[in-house]
Chain A
Amino acid sequence: MSEPLLKISDLHAVIAEEGTEILKGVDLELRAGEVHAIMGPNGSGKSTLAKVLSGHPGYEVTQGSVLYRGEDLLAMEPDERARAGVFLAFQYPMEIPGVSIANFLRVAMQARNPEEELDIFDFQEKLLERMQLLEMDPSFAERAVNDGFSGGEKKRNEILQMAMLEPALAVMDETDSGLDIDALKIVANGVNKLHEERPEMTVLMITHYQRLLNYIKPQFVHVMANGRIVETGGPELALRLEESGYELYRGEPAASV
């Protein structure tokens, strides 16, 4: 049995400013190449988990550990984690006025390989090709990052970044929220294609609705409630949740956000 890519053990985390506990002992193991989905009601801590994994300053870990390739992920700064191959597709991507997508990606890619000068022509070629894959107009490359983008455009831009940066672990935080069915299909197609090209990439989808999972088929589905993972199953678990909702998991009061 191979060493897990990511091993989360008894993870507890609070909102940094006020101390409210959101994650109350999360355990999870992900192996290279696997596709996981975490579903759960609002307030269950799903998004918080994604943010804690990427090192968001708004949260503080109070207990537990996260090992990434055997190393202490929590001891790493957000940029170190990114360079180590962790990628978070944001639920609400930020706007960076005045910085073009092309420029931003070029700098990000150079940051991963500071020793070697990035070949600008290879970069351009790859960027155009990836944009085609995601059915993005090439002119988008010159637009400022997320500046004036629609919700769908922002999410596609997240996947474009994923496609360019080629992470080992891709965490998608509610990527499907706010997307219409067409946009959803394009995004899903992009992710599937990436996974095909790089089967070693691990995908962790955080999602509220089952819909996305029709297009990106997970091997493992976890249910998160009240700050913990309470059930794990295969794709059929998602379908069951679709039918019966999250009622079963309303035990203790949900963590207040």
Chain B
Amino acid sequence: MPYNETVANLGLEDYKYHFITKDKPVFKAQRGLSEEVVRQISAHKEEPEWMLKFRLKALEIYRSKPMPTWGGDLSQLESVLDDIYYYVKPADRMQYSWDDVPPEIKETFERLGIPEAERRVLAGVGAQYESEMVYHSLKKEWEEKGIIFESIENGLKLYPDLFREYFGTVVPPGDNKFSALNSAVWSGGSFVYIPKGVKVEIPLQAYFRVNTEQLGQFERTLIIADEDSYAHYIEGCTAPIYSTDSFHSGVIEIIVKRGARFRYTTIQNWSKNMYNLVTQRALVHEDAHMEWVDGNLGSKLTMKYPSCYLVGKGAHGQILSIGYAGDGQHQDTGGKVVHAAPYTTSQVISKSISKGTGRASYRGLVKVYEGAKHAKSNVECDALLLNDVSRTDTFPYIEIEEHTANVGHEASVSKIGEEQLFYLMSRGLSEDEAAAMIVRGFIEPIAKELPLEYAVELNRLIELEMEGSVG
């Protein structure tokens, strides 16, 4: 029985941070991280021994690593990390009422035309979204083809061998401090397997199964696209996700096998109190294609660099990234590509927009190992500054060890020109409408890769953000 149904069936009514049942020992959730918390998590999920060991080892690694000194300002993060609940059973998630949700969030829902039921889930007030029904009917279709799309917990339970073969192989716990943290306390996320030769036409949406657990702090996703398969996975949404949680650290591992094609799209609009630190990485095998489409609109600080490790001959990796930083926000995003095989190709397009005191940066790596003959890579990073105080930075790291490699990098910075604005206004657009149009045009090369409903929402969101922004 799926994990969350088990919990729901316990018939808990007491929505406080601890509960007592007749059969189980008392679990008292506590602030801060400790070995006990990690053991609780594993026990509660009824995990096999190896996973508990994995978590504990990761905890050790997490503790041994220092806080990064690059990227965004993490100085406040220490105290946040000491204070948060690392594990809260989904049914016990703090229930605040719709009235507690900030008015700006509610207004955005309104402006984006988000359906009533969805709003509550996104605001953390509702438990489940009706698209659960959509999920169930699609699920049958998928099962027939051998497609697996489960929660990560179910992935471990139902497909232990497959799971174990790949889990932690793309992003090992030791990779960085936050992958270690995630490896210790992960909860919620997706497990996806696309069988050989199967092409999935309808995008798989994490959204189908959205519930409060899905919006958890330490989600972990593992995706295996077997040879010659095709699928598109979409995570997140443009609507603001309101959470009293202030820290989100996810890990996404993707294996794209020979000849397969996979696209992973994220649009994140976390509330502006969030630290959003995510490790996303794909291992791309021979003649396989991997595409990351990454939209970062929310959060207080996002540090995220979707990566493609091109390990097979002829592998191709593409990263399309949009970062929007409004007042007080810092988007430190970009992508990493590692060419570790000959005839591999990569393309990175990054568009950042800074408004008010916002800071949107591009941080990227292109690494070509010796022997990756005739590797080709092109990076284009463009920044748009909307105000005199807006800020953008570019940190491109390029490490080439192979002399037959062909690597290009272009960067541009622009602001909304007065002449451009006037031109549009002279056709009847208000100043805000004109600015919004220019911004939409700026991100168009990436926005056109989004599924239609996301593109529409993204456009509306930009209009909203652009109000009163010029000057």
Q: Do A and B come from one complex?
A: yes
List the interface of chain A (C-beta within 8 A of B).
54-58, 77-79, 81-83, 87-88, 90, 93-99, 104, 107-108, 111-112, 144, 161, 165
Q: A55 CA to B243 CA in the complex, in Å?
A: 46
Q: A183 CA to B363 CA in the complex, in Å?
A: 47
Interfacial chain A residues near B425, Cβ < 8 Å: 55, 77-79, 82
Per-residue A-contact encoding for B184-218, CB less than 8 Å = 1, 0 else? 00000000000000000000000000000000000
Q: A111 CA to B438 CA in the complex, in Å?
A: 16
Given known A82-B427, A99-B444, contact A94–B417 (CB-CB < 8 A)? yes
- Cβ-based interface call for B419 (8 A): yes
Interfacial chain B residues near A79, Cβ < 8 Å: 425-426, 428-431, 433-434
A96 and chain B: residue at smallest CB distance: B441
B406 to chain A, nearest CB (A): 25
Among B423, B428, B430, B444, the residue within 8 A (CB) of A94 is B423
A to B CB contacts below 8 Å, 26 in the list: A54-B426, A56-B422, A78-B425, A79-B425, A79-B434, A82-B426, A82-B427, A87-B426, A88-B426, A90-B426, A94-B419, A94-B423, A96-B420, A96-B424, A96-B437, A98-B440, A98-B441, A98-B444, A98-B445, A99-B438, A107-B437, A108-B429, A111-B430, A111-B433, A144-B441, A165-B427
A112 and chain B: residue at smallest CB distance: B428
B437 touches A104 (CB 8 A): yes
Given known A94-B419, A111-B433, contact A99–B440 (CB-CB < 8 A)? yes
Q: A55 CA to B422 CA in the complex, in Å?
A: 8
- Cβ-based interface call for B277 (8 A): no
- Cβ-based interface call for B116 (8 A): no
A57 touches B418 (CB 8 A): yes
Among A90, A97, A107, A165, the residue within 8 A (CB) of B423 is A90
Interfacial chain B residues near A165, Cβ < 8 Å: 427-428
Count of B residues near A, CB < 8 Å?
Answer: 24
B385 to chain A, nearest CB (A): 16
B429 touches A96 (CB 8 A): no
Given known A57-B418, A90-B423, contact A111–B443 (CB-CB < 8 A)? no
B448 and chain A: residue at smallest CB distance: A98
List the interface of chain B (C-beta within 8 A of A).
417-420, 422-431, 433-434, 437-438, 440-445
A83 touches B423 (CB 8 A): no
Given known A107-B433, A112-B428, contact A98–B442 (CB-CB < 8 A)? yes
A144 and chain B: residue at smallest CB distance: B441
Q: A98 CA to B459 CA in the complex, in Å?
A: 13
Main secondary structure, interface of B, reads helix
Among A78, A108, A111, the residue within 8 A (CB) of B422 is A78
Q: A99 CA to B462 CA in the complex, in Å?
A: 14
B442 touches A83 (CB 8 A): no
Q: A96 CA to B418 CA in the complex, in Å?
A: 12
Q: A77 CA to B420 CA in the complex, in Å?
A: 15
- Please provide the 6 A-B residue pairs with the shortest distance between their CB atoms, ordered closest to farther: A98-B441, A98-B444, A99-B441, A94-B423, A82-B428, A111-B428
Query: Most chain-A CB neighbours within 10 Å: which of B417, B437, B441?
Result: B441
Interfacial chain A residues near B424, Cβ < 8 Å: 96, 104
Interfacial chain B residues near A57, Cβ < 8 Å: 418, 422
A77 and chain B: residue at smallest CB distance: B425
Given contacts A99-B441, A107-B433, 19 further A-B contacts (CB under 8 A): A57-B418, A77-B425, A78-B425, A79-B433, A81-B426, A82-B427, A87-B426, A96-B420, A96-B424, A96-B437, A98-B440, A98-B443, A99-B444, A107-B429, A108-B428, A111-B427, A111-B428, A111-B429, A111-B430
B431 touches A94 (CB 8 A): no
Given known A56-B422, A94-B419, contact A83–B428 (CB-CB < 8 A)? yes
Interfacial chain B residues near A78, Cβ < 8 Å: 422, 425-426
B442 touches A97 (CB 8 A): yes
Q: A74 CA to B434 CA in the complex, in Å?
A: 21
Interfacial chain A residues near B417, Cβ < 8 Å: 94
Interfacial chain B residues near A87, Cβ < 8 Å: 426-427
Interfacial chain A residues near B437, Cβ < 8 Å: 96, 99, 104, 107
A54 and chain B: residue at smallest CB distance: B426
A104 to chain B, nearest CB (A): 7
Given known A57-B418, A111-B433, contact A96–B428 (CB-CB < 8 A)? no
A123 to chain B, nearest CB (A): 15
A88 and chain B: residue at smallest CB distance: B426
Interfacial chain A residues near B419, Cβ < 8 Å: 94
B429 touches A55 (CB 8 A): no
Interfacial chain B residues near A96, Cβ < 8 Å: 420, 423-424, 437-438, 441
Q: A99 CA to B448 CA in the complex, in Å?
A: 11
Interfacial chain A residues near B440, Cβ < 8 Å: 98-99
Q: A70 CA to B434 CA in the complex, in Å?
A: 28
Q: A74 CA to B419 CA in the complex, in Å?
A: 19
Q: A256 CA to B186 CA in the complex, in Å?
A: 70
A108 touches B441 (CB 8 A): no
Interfacial chain B residues near A88, Cβ < 8 Å: 426
Q: A97 CA to B427 CA in the complex, in Å?
A: 17
Q: A87 CA to B423 CA in the complex, in Å?
A: 11
B423 touches A108 (CB 8 A): no
Interfacial chain B residues near A104, Cβ < 8 Å: 424, 427, 437
A108 touches B427 (CB 8 A): yes
B446 and chain A: residue at smallest CB distance: A98
Among B427, B429, B438, B443, the residue within 8 A (CB) of A161 is B427
Interfacial chain B residues near A99, Cβ < 8 Å: 437-438, 440-441, 444
Q: A93 CA to B424 CA in the complex, in Å?
A: 10
Interfacial chain A residues near B438, Cβ < 8 Å: 96, 99
B417 and chain A: residue at smallest CB distance: A94
